[in-house]
Amino acid sequence: MTVTRLLFAAFFASASLSQAQDPGVREFQDRRPENNAAAVPTGNVAMSAGVINSMDVLDDTQPIESGDLISMRIVEDRREPLQLRVGVTGEVNAPHIGLVKAAGRTCKTLGYEVKRRLELNYYNVATVVVTIDLRRVDNPNAPRNITTGYDIEFFTVYGQVLRQGKYELPQDEDITISQAILRAGGFAQFAHPQKVKLVRKTPSGNKTIMVNLDQIMRRGNLEYDIFVRKNDVIIVDEKKVNF
């Protein structure tokens, strides 16, 4: 019995010593957090607009440049961040307020400018989180994650929509005229969706295409939902109302 106990004791002592000397065990222990506090990435670690809830930690050192891809989130909206490409004019189409100058501003100063404008008409208090996701390859301030160079293309929406203005035409997807209207905030109160004009430049001059968005967006006739192309201009007329 004594011999058996000695053998078991020797076996467990050997196992404990092997575990203590196992570098894999030490690596696992080193990775355990010292406390349960959530750490906010700093330095060269890219901060995600989806996890930041305070404007105090926004970057205030690197200026945003034309062509950069940024994320913007209004915390009070409780929605996912919106990715925005900074246009050649240096502007982005911010939620609710439309075009706002981004180039030359840092994430923090842009966030506070959007906050100021939102609180004028839309929010009592707005928390606007802005981060830089990717930079142009030809941007001298570009970090390690960069995109290739490209020419930014636009389309424009005028008339009875909630946010008139120039919008970036995505490089990696086709968008239709109904989607373009939605990007402009949808129809305004007195819009005439049955008579929407799409003006397109052609080698022989401007071509005007009449589109009935009511058939597309309400009745589901998607075959009439034409694709938007570079430099297209969409005009939503006002509906005539007789009182």
Using one digit for the tens of pLDDT, what is the confidence trace for 133-174? 887 655 555 444 444 444 567 888 988 888 888 788 877 678
The pLDDT, as a whole number, for residue 44 is 32
Give the mean model confidence (pLDDT) for residues 75-79. 88
Give the start-to-end residue ranges of the domains of the chain.
55-147, 153-238
Q: Which of 67, 164, 57 is nearest to 111 (CA)?
A: 57
Tell me the whole-structure pTM to 2 decimals: 0.46
C-alpha–C-alpha distance, residues 66 and 136, integer Å: 8
User: Which CATH number does 153-238 carry?
Assistant: 3.10.560.10
> When comparing pLDDT for 26 and 215, which is higher?
215
Euclidean distance between CA atoms 208 and 199, whole angstroms: 4
Pairwise pLDDT comparison (63 vs 24), residue with the higher score: 63
CA 197 vs. chain centroid, Å, equals: 29
Intrachain domains 55-147 and 153-238 with the same fold: no
Q: What confidence score (pLDDT) does residue 105 get?
A: 94
- 108 membership: H or E segment, kind and range: helix 107-121
**Helix 23-31 with 2-21: angle, nearest 10 deg:** 60
State residue 16 phi and psi, 5-degree precision: -65, -40
Lowest model confidence (mean pLDDT) among 23-32, 73-82, 152-161, 234-243: 23-32
What number is the average pLDDT over the span 194-209?
A: 91
Does domain 55-147 bear CATH number 3.30.1950.10?
yes
Lowest mean pLDDT among 1-5, 72-76, 236-240: 1-5
Tens of pLDDT, residues 2-55: 545 544 455 444 444 444 443 333 333 333 333 333 333 333 334 467 778 889
Distance, in Å, from the CA atom of 6 to the CA atom of 212, rounded to the nearest integer, reads 91
Point out which residues pair with 197 in neighbouring strands: 210, 235
- The Cα 189–Cα 88 span in angstroms is 31
